[in-house]
Structures are given as structure tokens and as C-alpha cells.
Amino acid sequence: MKNNIIKEEAIFLNQPIGVIDSGVGGLTVVHELMRQLPKEKLIYLGDTLRCPYGPRTKEEVQTFTWEMVDFLIQKDIKMLIVACNTATAYTLPDLQEKLNIPVVGVIQPGARAAINFTTNDYIGVIGTEGTVKSEAYPKALHSIKPELRVESLACPMFVPMVEQGILSGIKAEHIVEKSLRPLKALHNIDTLILGCTHYPLIKDVIQKVVGDEVTLISSSEETARETSTILEVHQLLNNDDGPVNHEFYTTGELGLFTKITQSIFHSSIDNLKSVTIEKAVI
């Protein structure tokens, strides 16, 4: 896969960080980035028009991801965060090879966090069909600690539910309980990776279903921490104390996107636009 707009110019500290996701889930990563890196400008693009990515083919996900990347490269980003587990699983090595800026996914940070929290080396992973099919999390976990037991479960109803704004209540609890029955039947899993950035938006419901004895791992916090480390290593941290004006873009309608951003940030966000992204050069 080739891309014709890879940057060659120098990278400056005040350039923004780009964040991409298949929909609204990556906003959980953005929220954590804002907390840990308050001086950094963020540009977010959520492909809500074509969400969810989980049931799509690997080729579709790769094409859609490069289209988002092309859009953000035009914004002169200094770093890219792939805040979508499915896109991370299918495109991260290619992006890291072809772009001359640091690229971070959400799978490795989540895997490392889960290993730090488990006490019995029995870890569950829930994610989209694409993420589970890729076996990205078991591979990442076993690459660090081969003796781990890992059970994965696809939860295809979760992302559409979140994108519809159903984040709590009886309907949400019913969908989550039904989806997680196979995992609950296994017993003894003490750590559960939320292998999709949409899932932290229904974290309370998931916790209620699996019980307090299971530790839920969201990759958002770990991804933000890794981003901070990489920026520091590459000497790209922005030290400007001026105002930070983040930019938010969606390929879909603004209404529901705005509603969900309010539930995440507990306030309205400025500079939110709906955009059409061009086809990538493949």
C-alpha cells in the first residue's frame, strides 16, 4: 500500500497531534490526552459515517484508515494516534513504516496494562469482530508473557449501541449481559481488556455485569502515557503556554456526535465540523 503525501519537512513542537477512530470511541483517548498533555493541540477525526469497522474486511479497514490519515497529514500533524483497535490491528505496521512521524496504536499499551493488573494470569479480551479475528491482543500479551491464559470474545452489538447514544439503562444492560455470557461462564478471569475505544463509554454497565472482582482495562490512559513518553524521547513536547484550540471532525452527522462528546467531556466542545474525506492513493 502506497501513499503519496508522506511528509518530508521538519517537525515543529507546536504542530498538532492527530487522532483517528472509526467513530466516537477515540474521544475517550482524546479526553485522557487532554488531561495528561494539556499543552498539546489535538485534531480528531471520527469516521462515524462508515462505523463500525469491526465487521469490515481487512482491506476495507486499511483503505478507510489511510483516508483518515491522508486528511490529518494535510493538517501538518507531528504524531498520529490510531485510537481504533481494529485499525490498529490491521494497519499499524504499515503506517509506522510509511509515515515519517511517530505512530501509536492502542493495543500494546492496553496489553501491558492488563499484565500489570492480573494476579492469576488469566485475561479476557472483548472487542469488535475484526479485532478479535486479528488475534492482535493475544499476540501482544503472549509476546510479553507467554504463559498467560487469554480468552477473546467479539461483541458486535456494543459499537452500534454506543454510536446510537445508548450508554446506560435497562437496554444497555440487557445487550451487555447477553453479549458477555460466554465470557462469564469461564470463571476465574480477573482482568478484562476493553479492546475497543468505544467500550469505556459503557464501562459502568460492563463492570456491573462482570462483577467488581474483575479489573477492567481501558487502553486510553496507557495510550496517553505512551504518547507522552514518545514525544519526550523525540523532543517533540510543546512548551508553549498559549491557548490550545483543538479541532474535531466527523464524517457523519453532527447531532449525535455532539451529544456523545458532551457525555465524555461534560461540556460542549468548540470547533466541531462534519467533513468528507478523499479516497487514499493505494
Q: Which residues are annotated as a binding site for substrate?
A: 21-22, 53-54, 85-86, 197-198
CB atoms within 10 A of CB 230: 16
Please say which residue of 219, 234, 259 terminates a domain.
219
Name every residue whose Cβ is closer than 8 Å to that of residue 236 and which is 6 or more positions away in sequence. Answer: 11, 13, 78, 79, 102, 230
Of 267 and 47, the structure prediction assigns the larger pLDDT to 47
Residue 121 covered by a domain = yes
Q: Residues 101, 174: one domain?
A: no
Q: What is the number of domains present in the chain?
A: 2
pLDDT of residue 258: 86
pLDDT of residue 282: 36
Q: Residues 167, 112: one domain?
A: yes
Residues 89, 140, 196, 224: which is the catalytic one? 196
Q: Which residue has the cell 479476557?
A: 124
C-alpha to C-alpha distance for 29 and 48, rounded to whole angstroms: 16
Lowest mean pLDDT segment, chosen from 44-48, 103-107, 144-148, 184-188 = 184-188
C-alpha to C-alpha distance for 150 and 191, rounded to whole angstroms: 10
Q: Which residues pair with 273 in a beta bridge?
A: 249
Residue 246 covered by a domain = yes
pLDDT reading at 43 higher than 70: yes
Confidence of residue 259 (pLDDT cuts 50, 70, 90): confident
CA 108 to chain CA mean position, Å: 12
Residue 9 covered by a domain = no
Average pLDDT over residues 141-159: 96
Rounded to 5 degrees, φ, ψ at 184 are: -65, -30
pLDDT of residue 167: 93
Average pLDDT over residues 248-277: 86
Q: Residues 49, 185: one domain?
A: no
51 is catalytic: no
Average pLDDT over residues 70-77: 96
Average pLDDT over residues 57-69: 96
Residues 29, 43, 82, 84: which is the catalytic one? 84
User: For the chain, what's the residue count?
Assistant: 282
pLDDT of residue 178: 97
Looking at residue 275, its amino acid is V
Q: Residues 169, 208: one domain?
A: yes
Domain around 215: 107-219
pLDDT of residue 278: 62
126, 63, 129, 118: which is closest to 95 by C-alpha?
Answer: 63
Name every residue whose Cβ is closer than 8 Å to that of residue 58 and which is 6 or more positions away in sequence. Answer: 90, 130, 134
Lowest mean pLDDT segment, chosen from 10-19, 181-190, 231-240 = 10-19
Lowest mean pLDDT segment, chosen from 171-175, 180-184, 240-244 = 240-244
Computed over every residue of the chain, the mean pLDDT equals 91
* Lookup: cell for 63: 483503505
Q: Residues 111, 215: one domain?
A: yes
Q: Residues 96, 232: one domain?
A: yes
Confidence of residue 1 (pLDDT cuts 50, 70, 90): very low
Confidence of residue 264 (pLDDT cuts 50, 70, 90): confident
pLDDT reading at 271 higher than 70: yes
Q: Residues 159, 183: one domain?
A: yes
Q: Which residues are annotated as a binding site?
A: 21-22, 53-54, 85-86, 197-198
Average pLDDT over residues 127-150: 96
Q: Residues 231, 210: one domain?
A: no
Q: Residues 150, 194: one domain?
A: yes
pLDDT of residue 281: 41
Q: Residues 227, 152: one domain?
A: no
Is residue 48 within 8 A of residue 75, CB to CB? The reply is no
Is residue 263 within 8 A of residue 167, CB to CB? The reply is yes
Of 107 and 239, the structure prediction assigns the larger pLDDT to 107
pLDDT of residue 235: 92
